[in-house]
Amino acid sequence: MNIREQLTARIQTAMTLAGIPIECRPMVAAAKKAGFGDYQANGAMGAAKKMGTNPRELAAKIVELVELDDIADKLEIAGPGFINIHLKPEWLAECVADAEQDDALAINPAAEPKTIVIDYSSPNLAKEMHVGHLRSSIIGDALVRILSRLGHKVIRQNHVGDWGTQFGMLIAELEETLQTDASAAMALKDLEVFYQQSKAHFDADQAFADKAREYVVKLQSGDANVLKLWEQFKQVSLEHSTDIYRKLNVTLTEQDVCGESFYNEDLAPLLQELKDQQLAVEDQGAQVVFLDELADKEGNPSPVIIQKQGGGFLYATTDLAAIRYRAGQLGADRILYFIDARQSLHMQQVFTLARKAGFVDSDVSLEHHAFGTMMGADGKPFKTRSGGTVKLSALLDEAVERAAAVITEKNPELEGANEIARKVGIGAVKYADLSKTRTNDYVFNWDTMLSFEGNTGPYLQYAYTRIQSIFRKAGINPDELTGDIILGTEQEKALAIKLLQLGEVLEQVAGDALPHLLCTYLYDVASLYMRFYEACPILKSDVPAELKASRLRLCHATSRTLATGLDMLGIEVSERM
Ligand code: ARG
């Protein structure tokens, strides 16, 4: 149990003894400001309101009845009935010592492990991955890592766009280029160029355009030749994405791909069901569901087109099939979507209709975790100098190059500088994104993200490395440290409490899918560590041996917390930098 859970359990018992109804919760939280204890219990006010009594008196009664002698050395009542809890340094010292030795760093597994499906990255295979896919890929992957770490069963779903009319054109073009190019890999070495080329061909050449349309139909009816070309196209494009995932240290592999084409066979029966339930109705030759639940201000229901005039199915149809599969076949308790905020209406329609049609039970949690746009310095969506979309592979290469320049300037003799630059560059891009509140737009800025000062990836990586260098200097293997931890100063105590809060933070991140909370936490850890490091000498000759051992163990708990936290964000650390 983490600190908050332990305090909650004990205070809840005292509240029951005080005759407070069980639905009133103790409301325990870490103190936000110094001088108000380490934790606060704010439940007395709500309980007093419910019971019609005086909140301060009720708080006093809770304080009198609560058994916290082994954990806390002081309880105070403040303001209208807050209970401020001062934790005992001896108890904290034991807890942090246990965590330092524990492989799991005292992170509790979830009491009820869930099956959680995470839809993320999901690029369109017709084109090269661009910056628009960055946020989904890295935020989604952070949640994958965190939820797995908490013991949930996580199923990744890379819902790639590998189906639809564009593919007729692309396959027809591929067929032609294969007459001169040796392989699909060669023909498609630049997907962007290939796409432009086929589009130009399509617009200029009537016969080609007809063929492209014919190929769409053939693809859908399973024509062997067309399917083979499509498979080739898909393979090359997927390899490109997989390359990016590897560079980005994102855990997606080809096994996680479950694209739009996977649901092709489900679409016609799905439409039939919606018709049988009288949800889908004909409207100007199309099949449409009108959702009153999402009506606009004038009361016009929100239309969801399931099938176009002419028979084609749409993005929403596929998403309905996917959500049904995820809830039904994959047995999801929660389904998380990491998609741009601009698709919010689409997701709302899919969720509402899926529930209404009974595709998803009411106890399955459907969550669109939307995010804002990555902006350039001009405050407009991030583009290349000439106004084109920025390819993700180019952006990542640039990040590593820039990191290399920064590192060489700092330390020209550094061994393994290439590998370190890779970790720093990629880490900087990821951290800059993950540390912003997910729902906001943010401005992409190379200089701030690569700075070694402030709330940045390099700062945290460097904080880790500096601790590792202390162990090297002391000639000590940190895994073999022994002796007690003693929290003799305010700085040591503050650091220890922070270190013990990792599990609480992870639970919060897991619930709301907000990785920036973990970033803020790690930055706090690093800052409190710096305060400790400045106030408490470690290796100086006049430091008594037991104090030295204690402080080294605190260093080790800190470096493990930083490395573990960064790992959950998909960011690597280096022993030297
Ligand atoms: N392929 C889509 C795009 O690039 C994103 C898909 C997101 N996932 C989903 N289930 N709709 O915009």
State how far the Cα of 552 lies from the Cα of 470, in Å rounded to an integer. Answer: 9
State how far the Cα of 215 lies from the Cα of 503, in Å rounded to an integer. Answer: 53
Q: How far is the CA of 159 from the centre of ligand 1 (A)?
A: 6
Question: What was the pLDDT predicted at 184?
Answer: 87
Spatial strand order of the sheet with 82-87 comes to 28-30, 39-41, 82-87, 72-78
User: Among 73, 55, 213, 58, which Cα is nearest to 493's?
Assistant: 73
Question: What was the pLDDT predicted at 34?
Answer: 80
Q: How far is the CA of 463 from the centre of ligand 1 (A)?
A: 37
Helix (H) or strand (E) holding 37: none
Tell whether the torsion through CA atoms of 452, 453, 459 and 465 is positive or negative: positive
State how far the Cα of 261 lies from the Cα of 226, in Å rounded to an integer. Answer: 14
Mean pLDDT of the 382-398 span: 89
Tokens coding 315? 């993005």
Q: How far is the CA of 338 from the centre of ligand 1 (A)?
A: 9
Mutation test residue for ligand 1: of 237, 261, 339, the one with most atoms within 8 Å of CB:
339
Mean pLDDT of the 338-359 span: 97
Question: What was the pLDDT predicted at 335?
Answer: 98
Index of the ligand 1 atom closest to the CA of residue 346: 11
Alpha-carbon Rg for the chain in angstroms: 28
- On the question of pLDDT at 80 being above 90, the answer is yes
Q: How many CB atoms lie within 10 A of CB 479?
A: 10
> pTM of the prediction?
0.95
Contacts of 143 (CB under 8 A, 6+ apart): 118, 120, 336, 338, 369, 509, 510, 513, 515
Mean pLDDT of the 132-149 span: 96
- On the question of pLDDT at 73 being above 90, the answer is yes
Question: What was the pLDDT predicted at 322?
Answer: 98
Contacts of 52 (CB under 8 A, 6+ apart): none
Q: How far is the CA of 161 from the centre of ligand 1 (A)?
A: 7
Measure the N-to-C terminal CA separation of the chain; round to a whole number of Å: 36
> At 535, is the secondary structure helix, strand, or coil?
helix
Tokens coding 235? 């393979």
Query: How confident is the prediction for the chain on average, in pLDDT?
Result: 95
Ligand 1 atom 6, closest CA: 122
Q: How far is the CA of 319 from the centre of ligand 1 (A)?
A: 9
All domains of the chain in start order, with CATH: 3-87 (3.30.1360.70), 166-248 (no CATH)
Angle between helices 516-535 and 502-512 (to 10 degrees): 160
Question: What was the pLDDT predicted at 181?
Answer: 79
Confidence of residue 387 (pLDDT cuts 50, 70, 90): confident
Tokens coding 277? 């339930």
Mean pLDDT of the 47-61 span: 96
Cα within 13 Å of Cα(248), Cβ side: 34
Q: What is the DSSP string of 403-420?
A: HHHHHHHH-TT-TTHHHH
**The pairing of beta strand 374-375 with beta strand 442-443:** parallel
For the purposes of burial, counting CB atoms within 10 Å of the CB of 111, is it exposed (0-12), middle (13-18) or buried (19 or more)? exposed
In 249-391, where does DSSP find H-type helix?
A: 267-276, 315-328, 344-356
**The pairing of beta strand 280-283 with beta strand 72-78:** unpaired
Q: Which residues line ligand 1 (CB under 6 A)?
A: 119, 122-124, 159, 161, 319, 322, 337, 339
Q: How far is the CA of 121 from the centre of ligand 1 (A)?
A: 8
Index of the ligand 1 atom closest to the CA of residue 160: 1
Quickly count helices (H) and strands (E) in the chain: 21, 13
Question: What was the pLDDT predicted at 35?
Answer: 82
DSSP 293: G
Angle between helices 417-434 and 457-474 (to 10 degrees): 130
Confidence of residue 385 (pLDDT cuts 50, 70, 90): confident
Mutation test residue for ligand 1: of 343, 349, 369, the one with most atoms within 8 Å of CB:
343
Question: What was the pLDDT predicted at 194?
Answer: 93
- CA distances (Å), 424 to each of 145, 401, 569, in order? 20, 10, 13
Q: How far is the CA of 347 from the centre of ligand 1 (A)?
A: 10
Question: What was the pLDDT predicted at 388?
Answer: 84
- On the question of pLDDT at 182 being above 80, the answer is no
State how far the Cα of 405 lies from the Cα of 450, in Å rounded to an integer. Answer: 10
Helix (H) or strand (E) holding 62: helix 55-65
